[in-house]
Amino acid sequence: MKGIILAGGAGSRLHPVTRGVSKHLLTIYDKPLIYYPIATLMLAGISEILLICTPEHSQSYKSLLGDGRQWGISISYAVQADPNGLAEAFLIGRDFIDGQPCALALGDNIFYGAGLSGQLQELARLEHGAAVLAYQVSDPQRFGIVELDADGKPLSLEEKPEKPRSNWAIPGLYFYGPDVVQVAEQVTPSARGELEITCVNETYFKRGDLRVSRLQRGTTWLDAGTFDSMLEASHFVQTVEKRQGLKVACLEEVAWRRGLITDAEMRERADEFKNEYRDYLLGLLDTRS
């Protein structure tokens, strides 16, 4: 399965900060926000990634991430000239997808929890249809919502409903079979002029081909799209790292533990830093020796 990260948009909720920089390049505690969706896809076992961003920020992403080889993955780039909706990612990435299953991760969504990697890897083995995650929230009016039956099968999908039928929100990580481009091509702009991801999901739902995987209790999902939510996410990551002594979304560590880079390459990556990040990477190597 291939992976797309959508990191476009104007970031207007974060003006004036994002008038000069993409919000996905801002920091969540000790790492750029964009590291978190990359780590999520890597944990799912996805090594070919297309990053879609705005034209004015593409060079900044390339300078930060390169082609991904330092983490044993492949990162390529495409631009979304205007914020025309999440489903446009599949049209922009048509050649990249090339008839294969594909995951779409939103650039401002953060996932963390025990057992998460195994759950994501199972979803990444999808060969047809679609699969979405479900996460219990206390304010379902703010999200796309899925109603589930007793067996966890979807009964309905709603986008930011005034009277939600459930409190299961759909986070910004989606898995699709090889026909997702064809499905996206049939989506027409919504009232707000965007190609909505909900319409893509509804197509699979109506033909009985949508699977829902509920995130386990204890798993955290954060949507870091506002000043408050970014601060909350930073505090969460800081707490986890300080308490456990383990970093969240450390791409070098994910690559090393997955066997994408060797001990020698890990040491080489560590030597690129002159701070505690270097000490952390070298400390991981010491635990193996």
Per residue in 207-257, pLDDT (tens digit) is 999 999 999 989 999 999 899 999 999 999 999 999 999 999 999 999 999
CB distance 285 to 268 below 8 Å: no
Strands 27-28 and 31-32, bridge-based pairing: antiparallel
For the CA atoms of the chain, what is the radius of gyration? 19
Per DSSP, 166 falls in state -
**Percent of the chain topping pLDDT 70:** 100
d(CA 193, CA 70): 39
Q: Which residue has the higher pLDDT, 13 or 125?
A: 125
pLDDT value for 242? 97
Q: Is the pLDDT of residue 289 over 70?
A: no
pLDDT value for 32? 98
Tell me the per-residue pLDDT of 97-153, one tens digit each, with 9 for 90 and over.
Answer: 999 999 999 999 999 998 999 999 999 999 999 999 999 999 999 999 999 999 999
Q: Summarize the confidence of residues 163-179 as an average pLDDT.
A: 97
Could you give the dihedral angle defined by the CA atoms of residues 81, 83, 86 and 91, in that order, rounded to the nearest 10 degrees?
-30
Band (191; pLDDT cuts 50, 70, 90):
confident
Band (287; pLDDT cuts 50, 70, 90):
confident
> What is the pTM for the complete model shown?
0.97
Q: Summarize the confidence of residues 38-59 as an average pLDDT.
A: 97
pLDDT value for 193? 87
CB distance 6 to 80 below 8 Å: yes
Band (58; pLDDT cuts 50, 70, 90):
very high
pLDDT value for 176? 98
Q: What is the end-to-end Cα distance of the chain in Å, rounded?
A: 33
Q: Summarize the confidence of residues 9-34 as an average pLDDT.
A: 93
Tell me the per-residue pLDDT of 151-161, one tens digit each, with 9 for 90 and over.
Answer: 999 999 998 89
Q: Mean pLDDT of all residues in the chain?
A: 96
